[in-house]
Amino acid sequence: MSIAEKFVSMEYGPAPEDPKEAGAWLERHGRRFGLFIDGAWQAPAAGEYFETLDPSSGDKLASVAQGGVPDIDAAVRAARAACPKWRALTPHARARYLYALARLVQKHSRLLAVLETMDNGKPIRESRDIDIPLVARHFYYHAGWAQLLDQEFPEHEACGVVGQIIPWNFPLLMLAWKIAPALATGNTVVLKPAEFTPLTALAFAELCQEAGLPAGVVNIVTGDGTTGEALVKHPGVDKIAFTGSTEVGRAIRGATAASHKRLSLELGGKSPFIIFDDADLDSAVEGLVDGIWFNQGQVCCAGSRLLMQESIAEKLTSKIRDRMSSLRLGPPLDKAIDIGAIVARVQLDRIQRMVEQGVAEGATCWQPQVALPSRGFYYPPTLLSNVHPTSIVAQQEIFGPVLAAMTFRTPKEAVELANNTVYGLASCVWSENINVALHVAAQIKAGVVWVNCTNLFDAACGFGGYRESGYGREGGKEGLLEYMEPKWFKHAPKLPATTAVVSAQVVESPEAGTPAIDRTVKLYIGGKQARPDSGYSMEVRAQDGRLLGEAPLGNRKDIRNAVEAARKAEGWAKATAHNRAQVLYYCAENLGLRRDEIIRRLAAVVGEKQAAAEVDLGIARIFSYAAWADKFDGAVHNPPFRNIAIAMNEPIGTVGVICPSDAPLLGFLSLVMPLLAVGNTVIAVPSEKYPLIAGDLYQLFDTSDLPGGAVNIVTGYVSQLLKTLAEHDDIDAIWCYGDEATVASAKAMSTGNLKQVWTNEGRTIDWFNPQLAEGRWFLEHATQVKNIWVPYGE
């Protein structure tokens, strides 16, 4: 075509990025890669390799080592050996390494971008302009944290050896999200890249060598799911950080339950994309393009559920179709391509299957006329309308360029639909009215709300989900804390294993004179005293074996009732922080009034001295959390956009608490009060040793203006109640303080809805030391961060 003809047709020509350098890099390695362990390349012990393909053609790119159990073991050992020296470096020295990695990523940015596109199939425009710059940004940001670590976190230390498993959708970016915070805080790493996309991680290993990173600090072990499983199960690993499917996340939770491995999970999503009638529709449509057609929709936080206000649905749908028609699909190395290839055949099949099922369930499928390349794995941009909320395409993650559209009439309905999901990773709200947008943003259960923008990420802003989208955050201060623990905690002694409750040995002799009035302690559910469903009681005995009384024996139905009451009391979260503080102070005031009588009763179980300390420190502890209630603020981040991100500390929701038995009053208050202070509602199982404390506690709450249902108390045997609590799908988190076996079972049984689990890891906590037993550490676990991004400019 002549230039003159081109000026007439005005079609886009091909604009291919040259893959020559990336090809040369592959050739230099003989298109065959070993494992990067202890600073050197090693062949896999079993000598097995697998192929990684270019999804845009199906051609083989390279052979990559299949890491096995012995390879994982070698990598973990190398990481363990490197740990003490790495941790002993000054923060400044670690900052220099991270800074060097950031610089090296920039210096080799095009090679990394091209490799990423070849291995993953994403458009070069994205790998070059989004993924790789964000990778560098993460290393710079965390170089900064490394520098400031001792000043900002003097009481924390690294977890140790961290096993990291990353997905194939943003291979190098996810590597950066994992490795940068781990190294900054003094951990060493064994990372397993995704089977489909190992190449950039291997290129990164070379950058580690170039940066002179000490051997063993970063180890890269490629392989499939079995390699990941070996890493998860390796006893030498202190923490697992995983990004991937909810299904695998659940398996990891189960597999690590009996260990002390810390866990952060970044899982799936079905994120709502809400467009109100007063939105700038053209901008919203562009947002949608970035929401669901970015990276072929293979994005955990993809805006895959479109919720349109009914009055604009028709107009908006027409705009969306017009825009879809101009999306360019084709070879991802072309610089003017919007939609590249799907990562693998298996994923393409899955997308096709789900769309077919969605259509079978009544959805209308619309796709623009677009020619798919004859080779490679491609799927056209797809709009499913008339989607019913019960449809598979409204409920399950498709992980492809498929948008499921629904309508709503009112903001209330929009929120209801938005939250009608087991996930809670991200969301978008489009409205030119900031009041509406923020009103809705506050109600959405998701870790990120993008107002009038989409899929923005920054190292300074924590990213992570609510509900089954996982727990923990990546990025920001909260992301950093996932890789550290309070120094004292790891070294706290183990609690002795709980023994079965002793049966009656000493029969109490009746005292002379008028008998005491019988005291009946009950359960406390929804602000009312309730008899146990079972109709049974449990004996409560003094230190000397004397029968002190009987506590109600709670069962699963009592837990069920308590959870329902706690859900109904969610207004507590909406009460002002000042109001929550006032209620807590009032609790302290009333505990003060009852000081002597409670000490007298408690003394029979824990002795006079401890009883007095529990009450007096308990009053102070309540004061502490009353004080914190209006001070545990969020943050305002300044990401490098014309934008602010408001990080809000939100309550987790409804939390089940297994209280420690050794300090019946103080242990209860130490766990329940921080949860209440930030707006959670609680179902607490008090100390098995002295459940009668419930009677004192509910009298305290009843007289202190605490709304009914904010705290529910179910006494009984932990062995019986924990299961119902941990398995309950309407409980958002469980705090379990007990011996090792108890906390392990709490973790194992929490996999159903992937509720957050926080335990003492079977260790002793000195509840009588306010330095350890109260403060930010507890509040951080009582909250989850929601980032609300709000752009500005006119």
Contacts with other proteins by CB under 8 A lie at: 3, 10, 282, 326, 794
Comparing CA positions, the residue from 522, 517, 613, 600 lying closest to residue 562 is 522
Measured from the CB atom, the residue of 326 and 499 that comes closer to other proteins is 326
Cβ partners under 8 Å of residue 435, min gap 6? none
Q: Of 456, 416, 461, give the one whose Cα is nearest residue 440.
A: 416
The per-residue b/e assignment along 317-334, b for 16 or more CB within 10 angstroms, e otherwise, is bebbbebbeebebbbbbb
Closest to other proteins by CB, 326 vs 369, is 326
Instruction: Supply 410's token pair.
Output: 């009112």
State in angstroms the smallest separation of the CB of 625 from other proteins: 47
Q: Give the start-end residues of each E strand in 337-425.
A: 364-366, 382-385, 402-408
Angle, alpha carbons 121-178-675 (nearest 5°): 125
Q: What is the rounded distance in angstroms from the CA atom of residue 414 to the CA atom of residue 277?
A: 12
| Shortest spacing between CB 11 and other proteins, in angstroms | 8
C-beta neighbour count of 15 within 10 angstroms? 12
Q: How far is the CB of 303 from other proteins (least distance, A)?
A: 21
Q: What is the DSSP string of 120-135?
A: H---HHHIIIIIHHHH
Helix (H, G, I), strand (E, B) or coil at 464: coil
DSSP β-bridge partners for residue 645? 637, 789
Only one residue has tokens 């109260």, namely 774
Least separation in angstroms between residue 1's CB and other proteins is: 13
Nearer to other proteins, 125 or 445 (CB): 125
Phi, psi of 754 (to 5 degrees): 50, 45
Structure tokens that stand for 413 in this block? 């309905």
Cα dihedral 168, 170, 173, 179, rounded to 10, equals -20
**What are the CA-CA distances from residue 607 to residues 188, 375, 399, 610 (Å)?**
46, 78, 59, 6
Cβ 323 to other proteins shortest distance, Å: 9
Vertex 360: Cα angle to 358 and 365 (nearest 5): 55
Helix/strand/coil for 379: coil
DSSP for 247-288, please give it: HHHHHHHHHTTTS--EEEEE-----EEEE-TTS-HHHHHHHH
Q: Looking at beta carbons only, is 289 or 403 nearer to other proteins?
A: 289
**Separation of alpha carbons 411 and 123, rounded Å:** 36
Question: Of 326 and 514, which has the nearer Cβ to other proteins?
Answer: 326
- Cβ distance to other proteins smaller for residue 544 or 794: 794
Rounded to a whole number of angstroms, the minimum distance from the CB of residue 20 to other proteins is 19
Q: Pick the catalytic residue: 126, 266, 482, 550?
A: 266
Of 83, 159, 208, 300, the catalytic one is 300
CB closer to other proteins out of 282 and 730: 282
Cβ distance 419 to 466 under 8 Å?
no
For this structure, is 300 an active site residue? yes
Beta bridge partners of 273: 306, 428
In angstroms, give the least distance from the CB of 320 to other proteins.
14
Question: Which tokens belong to 541?
Answer: 């005995």
For residue 282, the minimal CB distance to other proteins (Å) is 5
What the block records as the tokens of 86 is 């790495």
Q: What DSSP character marks residue 53?
A: E
Residue owning tokens 């950039």: 200
* Helix orientation angle between 109-120 and 199-210, rounded to the nearest 10 degrees: 160
Active site residue 482: no
> What is the C-alpha separation between 569 and 562, in angstroms, rounded?
11
Gap between the Cα atoms of 6 and 334, Å rounded: 19
Residue with Cβ nearer other proteins (26 or 285): 285
Q: Are 719 and 686 in contact (CB under 8 A)?
A: no
Bridging pattern class, strands 161-165 and 305-309: unpaired
Q: Which residues are tagged catalytic?
A: 266, 300
